[in-house]
Chains A and B, each alone.
Chain A
Amino acid sequence: GAVVSQHPSWVICKSGTSVKIECRSLDFQATTMFWYRQFPKQSLMLMATSNEGSKATYEQGVEKDKFLINHASLTLSTLTVTSAHPEDSSFYICSATRPGVGDTQYFGPGTRLTVL
């Protein structure tokens, strides 16, 4: 069964609004979660590393003030796309490393964001 969930699975919003995406590890504690973005026909690109209890680490070119990440508990990380614009429309996927299972990362089902 799924070990990482995401909510919502899809969202359509107007330009200028903010959208929050939740990522949960279902039966394990994840001190680190990762947020990726995938544009059509492109590979997954890491946006940021979400660390429980501390600030997220953003990849070069990702605006930390636009993509707010909060990892408030060991099972939940949230990504908020602030003042979304059409170019932010993408597939956002989180992942978490399950302790005791080597380096295998488990992915959430993804959130498809469409900004009109």
Chain B
Amino acid sequence: RKEVEQDPGPFNVPEGATVAFNCTYSNSASQSFFWYRQDCRKEPKLLMSVYSSGNEDGRFTAQLNRASQYISLLIRDSKLSDSATYLCVVNIRGRALTFGSGTRLQVQP
């Protein structure tokens, strides 16, 4: 079983749509949670950290459910520029990040 599992997609959505990505992790010792965005042939860039209380950054909302070991990302009012691969990432302090395989989003005009 992978440590971090994501639906690979692709998710093809029209501009303005709301789209949600889910992720599950297997290691209950995981302490930090993130969503990264990776554009084709580029390095991952931090999109946002994820907290149990839920957090929002503009059109992006992230949620963490520790009991279910489940992380989500909601994107509202999708833009063409949101097209990318979204990586669910978990971390145990002091160790390297563990990446999901990513969910590919394609926003269409």
Q: Which residues on the A side are within 8 Å of B101 (C-beta)?
A: 42-43
Q: When the two chains form their complex, are residues A109 and B42 in contact, meaning their CB atoms are under 8 A apart?
A: yes
- Interface presence of B45 (CB below 8 A): yes
Contact A49 B96 (CB under 8 A): yes
| Chain A contact residues: helix, strand, loop or mixed | strand
Minimum CB distance partner of A40 in chain B: B41
B41: contacting residue among A32, A43, A91, A103, CB under 8 A: A91
CB distance from A26 to the nearest CB of B (A): 14
A108:B43 contact, CB within 8 angstroms: yes
Query: In this complex, which of A43, A102, A108 has the most chain B Cβ atoms within 10 angstroms of its Cβ?
Result: A43
Bound complex: CA A101 to CA B42 (Å): 23
Rounded to whole angstroms, the CA-CA distance of A107 and B98 in the bound complex is 14
| Chain A, range 31-48, C-beta contacts under 8 Å to B | 32, 34, 36, 42-46
B91 near A103: Cβ-Cβ < 8 Å: yes
Q: Across the A-B interface, give the 9 residue pairs with the lowest CB-CB distance, nearest first.
A: A43-B101, A103-B32, A107-B43, A34-B96, A110-B43, A46-B96, A43-B99, A44-B99, A103-B91
Q: Which residues of B contact A (CB under 8 A)?
A: 31-32, 34, 41-46, 49, 87, 91, 93-102
